[in-house]
Amino acid sequence: MVSSLSNKKVAVVTGSSSGIGYETALMLARNGFLTYATMRNFNKSENIKSIAAKEGLPIHITQLDVTDRVSINNAVTAISAETGRIDVLVNNAGYVLEGAFEHLSMDEIKAQYETNVFGLIRTTQAVLPIMREQKSGIIVNISSVAGRLGYPGGSAYISTKFAIEGLSESMSYELEPFGIKVVIIEPGVIRTNIFDSVVVAKKSKDPNSPYTQITQKMASSFEGMMKNASSPELVANIVLEAVTNDNPNLRYLAGKDAETWLDAKRNMSDKEFYKMMKQNLM
């Protein structure tokens, strides 16, 4: 039976235990959305539960593992049964795999894609029939400025974000006739714990690796960038802006660094941009 809460717009956010997903779930709930903050691990839900209780926010914590189709289907079916609709899906779940391309094992690359790309695909495909039936909805895919440009040591992660960019752009044509919009959010460096949970390729941990100097310089560069990183609230505000706009943009950059890098890429030749990135990062 559909609950009386169905008069609110319903938002589903993946990867809500921390960082961008956490702040986005709070932002949407604070602005009137009945928000399902989903996460793989319930043990990481205490912070958002505490704030939701303190502020009286319409947040429901829901178990959803984007790598598990049964988990996704169970969550989406339960949400639809409770509310009768899903108006917003924010695909945020993901992680960073670092390591020189030569050192990445196929298992490591496949695991990266299972979460960052196939997880997004599974969740979106589960939600789309509901949105298509109600003739409305918005899919927000959290990409990255790394979905528009590459850097050393990030080939696996970056390639997942490039995949999300192309997937989202193609989907937008197919879904528009059904009243469903697609939005891509492209953050720069964001002050979250994503870098604390970076997975480093096993072979890249070898101090005798021929790529050690490059990876050490990259680590040092990112350490410096984190000092001026944008807050996850910035991204959450942009998500809110997009989902409350009747005619949202396809892409939104998030962060001055992302804007600077993309401006440089647009205005430089490939050789000029490559040289600039080498100087700044390596």
Q: How confident is the model at residue 3 (pLDDT cuts 50, 70, 90)?
A: very low
Domains plus CATH for the chain? Answer: 4-281 (3.40.50.720)
- pLDDT for 6 equals 52
Largest CA distance in the chain: 62
Q: How high is the mean pLDDT of the chain?
A: 93
Nearest Cα to Cα of residue 90 among 123, 126, 130: 123
Whether the pLDDT of residue 2 is over 50: the answer is no
Whether the pLDDT of residue 1 is over 60: the answer is no
* Structure confidence by residue, pLDDT tens digits, 58-98: 999 999 999 999 999 999 999 999 999 999 999 999 999 99
Cα–chain center distance at 87: 18
- pLDDT for 51 equals 97
Find out whether 67 and 121 touch, Cβ atoms under 8 Å: no
* Structure confidence by residue, pLDDT tens digits, 248-275: 999 999 999 999 999 999 999 999 999 9
Q: How confident is the model at residue 47 (pLDDT cuts 50, 70, 90)?
A: very high
Question: Could you give the residue numbers annotated as active site?
Answer: 157
Strands 251-254 and 97-98: unpaired
- pLDDT for 197 equals 73
* Four-point Cα dihedral 187, 32, 119, 149, nearest 10: -10
Of residues 5 and 246, the one with the higher pLDDT is 246
pTM: 0.94
* Structure confidence by residue, pLDDT tens digits, 168-215: 999 999 999 999 999 999 999 998 766 667 888 888 888 889 998 888
DSSP-derived secondary structure for 65-107: -TT-HHHHHHHHHHHHHHHS---EEEE-----EES-GGG--HH
